[in-house]
Every structure is written in C-alpha cells, then in structure tokens.
Amino acid sequence: MMEPASIGTTELPRESRKEEALLAEQAFRRAIEVATAVGVAAVDMEGRQIYVNPAFCRMVGWHEEELLGKTPPHVYWVPEKRDEIMALLRAALAGETPTEGFELPFRRRNGEQFVVQVQLRPFLDQHGVQIGWMGSMIDISERKKKEEELFTSRELLRTVIDAIPQRLFWKDRQSRYLGVNRPLAEDLGLESIDDLVGQDDDQMPWRFLADLHRSDDRRIMEQDCPELRYVEQMVLPDGEQRWVRTSKAPLQDRQGRVVGVVGSYEDITEQKRNEEDLIASERRYRHLFNRMLDGFVLFAVVANPSTNDKEFYITEVNAALAAMVGRSPVELMGRSLPELGLFEEQEWRPHFDEVAETGAPTTFEIRAGSLGLVLRASIYRPEEGQVAAIFEDVTTEHRLLTEMERLARVDSLTGLWNRRFFLERAEEELVRLHRYQRPMSLLMMDLDHFKRVNDTWGHHIGDQVLAAVGGAIRENLRQVDLAGRYGGEELVVLLPETEYPEAQVVAERLRSAVAALRIPVGETVLTVTISCGMTSLRGDERLTLGQAMDQADQALYRAKRGGRNRTVVYCSEGGTADREGDHA
C-alpha cells in the first residue's frame, strides 16, 4: 500500500523523518528538564553521579560539570551527617525502609543546610537492565520549619489555655462550637474536647437557653463589639444550675473579618450565694465568714468631705486574710485601705468606687508588692454603705505561667536558650549593632567526637555531657551574652559590645572551661573538648544573621579539620580563618 504524498512538498526519506522525530523528542525532554521544579539525580551502581537535572543544580548550587562523575560522599551532603545519609540510603536500597518519601539532610554551596524528600527508582537502560538508581527530590526544609513552629506554637497555646481556670470557648458564625479549654470540657463531662466540635447550644445541658445564647452571639458578631462581664445562668450535665460571669467578643480572621465569637466565663455561684447568705441571715454569714479559706474583708464606705473621695474602712476581717497579709485581725480593724500600704491606690480605687456607687460586683487581680503576692479580688456590695471583698491568692498560678514562658525559651538539657529564642534575640542584637554602630562577635561551637561518646557510653551519658558543657558555658559568660543550643551538639554564643581580641579571649575561656570538665561514668572519668569558629562584626557591615553564622560555621569547619579542640577566627578577606588558637 502506497503512503500518501504531501501536497506541494517533497516526501522526506523514512530515515530523515526518524531523525527529526528523535530531535523533537530530545528538545521536548530538554524543555521538560529546564521547566521542572523537582530535582532529579542519578547514580550508577557504584554511587557515581551520572545525571543531574537543572532543578537539582539550582537546588544545591553546584553546576552539572562539578557534580557528574563524582563518587560518595557527594559535596551536597552535610559533612557532619555523611554517615547518617549513607546509612539512610543503604537501608532504602536494601529494602529495609521505604524508597519513597524518606528525608535526607543536604547542604547548598553556600553552606546552608536543608532537607529534601526523596523518591528512589531503579535506573534502567534501553534493555531493561538496571544500571543505577534515580531519585527525585523536593526541598521541604521551609515546610518542616513552619510545621515545627506551628506545632510548638499550638501546643504552647493549648497548654496555656488549659491552665487558665476561666472557662473558654469559641464558635463559628452559626454559633457552632469550634473548641473549648479543658476546664469547660470537664464541666461538661467530656472525655475529649473533639466531642464538642460542631455542636451548638441545642446539644448542651442549657438547651432551654440556646435561643438566648444565639441571639447574643449574633448581636456581637453583627455589631462587631464585645460584651463583657455580664451575669447569666448555665446548667451542668447533672442538672445543677450555676451563676457565671460571661464575656464575649467577635472572633476575627487575619483580614479582620468576623468569623465567629470567642468567650469566657467564670463561675460566680459561690459569690452569689455568699451575697444571698449575707442578706438573708447573720448566722449563716458568720458561719461562712469563719470557714472561708480565702481572705474576706468587709469595708464601711465613708465619704471624705474634704476630698469628695470615698474612704473604705475595715469593719470585719477573717483569719485567712489576716494570715495572708501577716497581721492579726485586731491590727487590721478600723484601718483604711491606703493605711494598710499593701496595694497601689490606682489599682484598687476605680473598682471599689464603682461597686460602692453602682452595686455591680466585679473581679480583678491586684499585686501586694510588699508581700510578693498576686491576689484575685472579688468585690460586691452586700448593702448600701458597704463593700465586701474576697481575696484569693493566685501567686502560684502566676508563677506557673511565668515558668511556662521560661520553659518555652530554654533548652531543657543544656540550660541554654533554645534555637528559636536565640535566633529571635540575635536578630534584635543585630539591629542594635547596625543602629548604634557597635561591635559584636559570634561563636559557633561543636563538641569533638560527640558521636563516639553516644556510641560508646549511650545517649544518657551523652546527655550528661551536654548538660555539663551547657553549665560550663553559662558560668563563663556575662549576663548580656546570649548562649543557645543550635542543634544536636552544636552550640552558639553571641557577644554584644565585643570586638575580635576580647571575643577570642572569651572563646578560649569557654574552650578551657569545657576541657577542664571531669564527668564520672562509673569508674571512668570522661573528658570532652570543643572546637570553636569565631567571627566579629562591625556596625558598618550590613551582614545578615545568616551570613554571620555562616562565617562562624566556616571557621568552625576549619577548626575541625585542623585537629579540633581549638579556636579558629574567620577572616573577612577571602573568607578563611586567619588566626588559630591551637590547643590540641
């Protein structure tokens, strides 16, 4: 059968058409290689690099001709993690771990480390015979960093929210619950907070008030205005009715759009009952007064004719309040609030004046500075001319929150700042350096042969070594210096207001302090040394923190190569170490 001829053209020979098709296919493949954002690399069965695509070269920063033909360890492997990378690859190639989706630590030409997600496939020739392995790689370091920061932030926020005694909740625009804190979940008898998500007030024990709550929510969202500290009733799962003081505010997204409502309430049932008891029966009042664990004070409100201010004189006080302030009830009777000298007047007067004037109860926190206490004051007006106050000591609660904030910033093993907080503070110091043209120095330190310690003695001994080194560093720095655990056995120190000569003295002092450590392990005593890379910055140098740390890291690398247990100073001319303190 004859093939159709082209009109107005001369039919090309079959071989020419094949060549054209081959060239077109090759051009298409090159276009795909240039356009793809996924890094692709191939090695032969001996691990020799036989192919890299442009995306891979852009990812690592080396050119194709610099990579092809090279054997492991490859230049884009993190030097101190080469053994780890080799072990991961061997496990994957041996079928011990999946060949898809595993992660490897790489580095770019500029020294920046990053993480790639790898998928490995056998590399076959045209006959289907395996001649090597081909891997596709995606840079996921930024994603991992954001995931880690988001997870840490969410966990910290959840811990803080659950530690707050007030009941917290947040809803969507349809008044469906999006979440609550642990105290409210316990009030509702829920085993898991997730059990509440998606439900509305119709499914709550206070369902007969559901329409009222929805109306409140709708009004707050439509007016975009909070309503604070109003009193209402709620019902617990066992049918018990409680009085609560509620505050609600619009819940907004990042663009400021109202997407729901957030609220809190505190149980004031006891306070309400106390008010009723005080009015209903002197006997019940006395019984409650004498058995209260919190401090209680009853004030007489007297107008001062010379100033038109209200004065609050103590007419009743219980033993708990007297013990709280370290005085006897007799000493307190008849004294006015300013005469006690416990509180700053501007902190208590607005609340007391408002309650005395309107009769609306309120709760606020106040510091008794001379006693080192933080008190939660719940005040109300039992009758005209009186103000009653219940003082609850919440000092421990405040200290707990402060300690939680500290733990979120400190590396629990070394006692140094954790990486995230160190970098935040270091950025602040760098801004100060540029603004005031002041010197600053940066040290990157790494424990020598630390892997050998873990392999020989176990990770628990390695942890003891890290803790001892962290203590030695803290003891040999000024209060203004910053020291942090950068990762693993790598530590970093920032020295504000410190030029090169003084910084080298500090580096050597730290190195000597660590070398002098003696860490008992059974009948053996371990010693440890550190290698230190140092760089000094001037105010007129517009370096970023990352660039400064890269300089110190280069010097650290030189210290490691030079025999360890030494300090190497980065030299800005040429980017190499120009002075070495050799103490091997």
Instruction: Please tell me which of 167-171, 222-226, 549-553, 571-575 the model is most confident about, judged by mean pLDDT.
Output: 549-553
Q: Are 514 and 532 in contact (CB under 8 A)?
A: no
Reported as half-sphere exposure (CB side, CA atoms, 13 A), residue 287 has a value of 6
Instruction: Answer yes or no: is pLDDT of 358 > 50.
Output: yes
One-letter amino acid for residue 59 of the chain: M
Q: Is residue 373 in some structural domain?
A: yes
Tell me, yes or no, whether 327 and 450 share the same domain.
no
Q: Is residue 23 in some structural domain?
A: no
If you average pLDDT over residues 551-578, what whole number do you get?
A: 82
Whole-number pLDDT of residue 243: 86
β-bridge mates for residue 43, sequence order: 49, 133
Structure-block tokens of residue 259: 């997407």
Q: Is residue 5 in some structural domain?
A: no
**Cis peptide before 520, with omega less than 30 degrees from 0?**
no
If we measure between CA atoms, which residue out of 267, 247, 275 comes closest to residue 379?
Answer: 275
Token pair 């439900």: residue: 199
Please state the domain count of the chain: 4
What CA–CA distance (Å, rounded) separates 468 from 491? 13
CATH number at residue 310: 3.30.450.20
Confidence of residue 572 (pLDDT cuts 50, 70, 90): low
Written as one string, the DSSP assignment of 550-579 is HHHHHHHHHHHHTTSSEEEEEETTTTEEEE
Written as one string, the DSSP assignment of 368-390 is EGGGTEEEEEEEE-SSTTEEEEE
What CA–CA distance (Å, rounded) separates 291 from 104? 65
Tell me, yes or no, whether 243 and 279 share the same domain.
no
CA distances 157 to 161, 242, 248, Å, are 6, 28, 19
pLDDT, averaged across the chain: 84
One-letter amino acid for residue 281 of the chain: S
Q: Which of 34-38, 283-287, 538-542, 562-566 has the lowest mean pLDDT?
A: 283-287
Residue 377's CB is within 10 A of a number of other CB atoms, namely 20
Tell me, yes or no, whether 469 and 550 share the same domain.
yes
Express as a percent the part of the chain with pLDDT over 90: 37
What CA–CA distance (Å, rounded) separates 125 from 12? 31
Tell me, yes or no, whether 437 and 557 share the same domain.
yes
Q: Is residue 27 in some structural domain?
A: no
What CA–CA distance (Å, rounded) separates 204 from 165? 20
Q: Are 537 and 529 in contact (CB under 8 A)?
A: no
Q: Which of 77-86, 351-360, 390-399 has the lowest mean pLDDT?
A: 390-399
Whole-number pLDDT of residue 246: 87
Pairing verdict, β 566-571 and 530-537: parallel
SS3 126: coil
Whole-number pLDDT of residue 307: 82
Q: 12 or 278, which is more confident?
A: 278
Torsion angle of C-alpha atoms 22, 24, 29, 33, degrees rounded to 10: 140
Tell me, yes or no, whether 230 and 115 share the same domain.
no
Written as one string, the DSSP assignment of 228-248 is EEEEEEEE-TTS-EEEEEEEE
Q: Is residue 306 in some structural domain?
A: yes
Written as one string, the DSSP assignment of 296-320 is EEEEEEEE-TTT--EEEEEEEE-HH
pTM of this prediction exceeds 0.85: no
β-bridge mates for residue 252, sequence order: 258
**Dihedral angle sign, alpha carbons of residues 210, 215, 221, 227:** negative
Q: Which uninterrupted H or E stretch holds 582?
A: strand 576-582
Tell me, yes or no, whether 38 and 181 share the same domain.
no
Tell me, yes or no, whether 318 and 346 share the same domain.
yes
Q: Which of 143, 177, 211 corresponds to the end of one domain? A: 143
Q: Which uninterrupted H or E stretch holds 263?
A: strand 258-267
Q: Which of 216, 239, 267 corresponds to the end of one domain? A: 267
Structure-block tokens of residue 157: 């926020």
* pLDDT tens, position by position, 25-38: 555 556 555 556 78
Written as one string, the DSSP assignment of 407-460 is HTTB-TTTSSBPHHHHHHHHHHHHHHHHHHT--EEEEEEEETTHHHHHHHH-HH
SS3 583: coil
What CA–CA distance (Å, rounded) separates 410 from 419? 9
CATH number at residue 576: 3.30.70.270
Whole-number pLDDT of residue 331: 87
Written as one string, the DSSP assignment of 198-230 is T--GGGSTTGGGHHHHHHHHHHHHHHT--EEEE
Q: Is residue 13 in some structural domain?
A: no
Q: 531 or 37, which is more confident?
A: 531
Classify each residue of 421-447 as buried b or exposed e, where b means 16 or more C-beta atoms within 10 Å of its C-beta: bbbeebeebbeebbeeebbbbbbbbbb
* pLDDT tens, position by position, 87-96: 888 887 787 8
Angle between helices 459-475 and 450-457 (to 10 degrees): 140
Whole-number pLDDT of residue 293: 75
Q: Which of 112-116, 176-180, 400-404, 464-468 has the lowest mean pLDDT?
A: 400-404
Question: Which residues contact residue 370 at a Cβ distance below 8 angstroms, ignoring those fewer than 6 apart?
Answer: 341, 342
What CA–CA distance (Å, rounded) separates 483 from 415? 9
Residue 13's CB is within 10 A of a number of other CB atoms, namely 9
Whole-number pLDDT of residue 27: 55
Residue 277 belongs to what domain range? 271-397
Q: Are 89 and 97 in contact (CB under 8 A)?
A: no
Whole-number pLDDT of residue 11: 53
- For the chain, what's the residue count? 584
Confidence of residue 473 (pLDDT cuts 50, 70, 90): very high
Q: Is residue 450 in some structural domain?
A: yes
If we measure between CA atoms, which residue out of 360, 369, 363, 368 comes closest to residue 390?
Answer: 363
Whole-number pLDDT of residue 3: 41
Q: What share of the chain is helix, strand, coil (3-state, %, to 5)?
A: 40, 30, 30
Cα 81 off chain centre by: 26
Whole-number pLDDT of residue 581: 45
Q: Is residue 325 in some structural domain?
A: yes
Tell me, yes or no, whether 79 and 169 share the same domain.
no
Q: Which of 243, 267, 291 corresponds to the end of one domain? A: 267
Q: What letter does residue 497 receive in the DSSP assignment?
A: T
Whole-number pLDDT of residue 288: 61
* pLDDT tens, position by position, 245-283: 888 899 888 888 999 998 888 888 888 887 777 666 565
- Alpha-carbon Rg for the chain, nearest whole angstrom, is 35
Tell me, yes or no, whether 370 and 350 share the same domain.
yes
Tell me, yes or no, whether 535 and 510 share the same domain.
yes
Instruction: Answer yes or no: is pLDDT of 199 > 70.
Output: yes
Tell me, yes or no, whether 174 and 56 share the same domain.
no
Tell me, yes or no, whether 516 and 547 share the same domain.
yes
What's the distance, Cα to Cα, between the start and end of the chain in Å? 86
